[in-house]
Structure 1
Amino acid sequence: MTVVGEAQVGTLLREWRERRGVSQLELALRADSSARHISFVETGRSRPSREMVLRLAEQLDVPVRERNALLLAAGYAPHYRETPLDDPALAGVRQAMERLLAAHEPYPAMVVDGTYGVVAANRGILMLMDGLPEHLLVPPLNAMRLTLHPEGLAPRIRNLAQWRGHLLAQMDRQLSLVRSPALRELYEEVAAYPPPAGHVEEAVGESAAAHAPFALPLVVEYDGHRLSFVSTIATFNTPMDVTVSELALETLLPADPETVTYLSLLRP
């Protein structure tokens, strides 16, 4: 008789394999197993060992949090810790993030968690947030809410429709990889925001398009100046902690000389 846990882990592994577009044979070769064993695992006829679950998850590039979920479904204890970011054990991580944020100034940069909660930000981000209503600045701050709320940065974003589409697509891709009710709730909230009152959508300016043809720029009106940025996102390689695995450093780089000039004047 197949137990529930075995059937569940097999179903989850099959979903991940199909999501990655990998055949049973290809996965077996990668994991030093056999297609027959992979088939038996997926149908619940065979219970994978703890080591096999981790090996298959690694070959399928399953997110760290979901690897723990696979282990639990197979009847094993989680392999990866989930340490609070303020825990002394992650002091080195916090210090590294602070150094990176400071080094990026005067350009904006921040670190967010798996639900886009802002866990650290530099003065460039604080500058862009200047003048936002107090109710949006009450902790915990959320980057998606701050950006897309009709009283947040949205009225200042000159190419809002494009940038909003980019952010929603980013969240949708993330939701396809993790089962996160909190992230789903956030997505539904920000996707339902009405457009800012009186906002007029503009095409990306010639300057931004000329200097950032390789990426969609974020064009923001600030203090009478039009600032144009391209966004980059960095994560930790081979994390062994769920919290660390979900941290992302987002940096905004100037997309035109005008933005470089303006921000350089703000350098302390």
Structure 2
Amino acid sequence: MAVGEAHGGLPVPSGAGEAIRAWRARRRVSQLDLALRTGVSTKHISFIETGRSTPTRDMITRLAEQLDIPLRDRNKLLLLNGYAPAYPERDLDDPELESVRGALHQVLRGHEPYPAALVDRVWNLVDANESLALFTVDVSAELLEGPVNVLRLSLHPDGMAPRIDNLPEWRAHVLDRLRRQIDATDDPELRDLHSELRTYPCVTSGHDMSAMDRRSIAVPLRYRSERGRLTFVSTTAVFGTPLDVTVSELAVEAFFPADAATMRALAGGVTGAGEPAFGDPV
């Protein structure tokens, strides 16, 4: 099988074996390590990657698990070898995902009065709690039209950027995090998003632009709101053992107060925020 143009420093695979080799290279795993993890010979791994041996459905699944390949791409590997996809991809409003929707609703609402958002694999907003409206004051209406991309919203000059006091620091954090996600997934939509975000000017608010405090435990978001200057740290929560493509690509981004002043400012909730106009909630 022929190998296509170079993409991101790795060959573009044209078959299941080449795709497995590309993922192995991306994960920086040797054939020997992969063989030991899966309990097969290095020779067999080599034969699969070069197309001399056709992997079974079970072998593709085992290799994909050991290489931590996203479920969406595991299905693609199976299809490349003529097998049916192993993982369903349901809409979030599917009746079978009712328990998932309930859990997500509980997490988002339970995080009040602090902002929290549910995003998909390319950082499009799926749902949010009421407090996320704290970040949409003065934001251009165009940026709030679906699908709303939360990274675009945060760095766009017509979005949150003018209110972020430590914009250079926050921008570097966002771009670095996105780059690491691209390295892990090789997702072309994320590549396009990264290229777009890099073109945005790094406007400053004229406030605290000092270098990051090395005593900090995480990169903070320093945001000027109608309630004063707020400082947040964020966490990301995902489902631990998803078996559905849609569920595997969901993440809750939750913001926590990083100081007592922010905690006091939001103690009474986000008055007048209302339900964010980001489309239908889950």
Question: After the TM superposition, which residues 38-53 of structure 1 pair with which residues of structure 2 at under 5 Å, given as runs?
Answer: 38-53=45-60
Find runs of 4+ consecutive structure 1 residues off by over 4 angstroms: none
Evaluate the alpha carbon distance shift between residue 204 and residue 25 of structure 1 in structure 2; reply closer, same or farther with a 3 A threshold.
Answer: same
Compared CA separation, residues 7 and 266, structure 1 to 2 (3 A): closer
Residue in structure 2 matching 1:220, options 200, 223, 227: 223
Taking the aligned partners of 2:32 and 2:133, their CA distance within structure 1 comes to: 51
Give the structure 1 partner of residue 206 of structure 2: 200
Deviations 1:173-225 (A, max 9, x none): 222233433333222222211234x64363359xx959x72111111011161
- Give the conservation status (yes or no) of the 8 Å contact 2:17–2:49: yes
Q: For residues 200 and 185 of structure 1, what CA distance do their matches in structure 2 show?
A: 30
Q: Distance in 1 between matches of 2:46 and 2:230?
A: 54
- Residue 176 in structure 1 maps to residue 183 in structure 2: yes
Alignment match of 1:165 (pick from 168, 172, 178): 172
Secondary structure at the aligned position of 1:127 is classed as helix
Q: Residues 185 and 201 from structure 1, CA distance in 2 versus in 1: closer, same or farther, beyond 3 angstroms?
A: farther
Aligned amino acid, residue 215 of structure 1:
A
Tell me which amino acid in the other structure corresponds to 2:167. Answer: L
Partner of 2:158: 151
Match of 1:186 in 2: 193
1:21 maps to 2:24: no
Q: State the identity %.
A: 47
Q: For 1:158, give the aligned amino acid.
A: D
1:55 counterpart residue number: 62
Q: Distance in 2 between matches of 1:68 and 1:136?
A: 33
More helix by share: 1
Alignment of 1:124 onto 2:131: yes
Give the Å deviation of 1:96: 1.0
**Alignment RMSD, CA only?**
2.3
Distance in 1 of aligned mates of 2:209 and 2:93: 42
In the other structure, the counterpart of 1:76 is 83
- Which of 251, 254, 268 aligns to 1:265? It is 268
Three-state SS of the structure 2 residue aligned to 1:147 is: helix
- Correspondence 1:236 to 2:239: yes
Structure 1 residues without counterparts, runs of 5 or longer: none
Query: d(CA) in 1 for partners of 2:232 and 2:87?
Result: 36
How far apart, CA to CA, are the structure 1 residues paired with 2:213 and 2:116?
22
Q: Structure 1 CA distance, aligned partners of 2:16 and 2:65?
A: 15
Gaps of 5+ in 2: 4-12, 272-282
Verify the 8 A CA contact 2:234 2:256 in the aligned structure 1.
Answer: yes
Could you tell me which of 134, 144, 169 is aligned with 1:137? 144
Aligned counterparts of 1:84 and 1:73: Cα–Cα separation in 2: 24
The letter of the residue matching 2:150 is A
After TM superposition, the score normalised by the length of structure 2 is 0.86
Separation (CA, whole Å) in 1 of partners of 2:2 and 2:81: 10
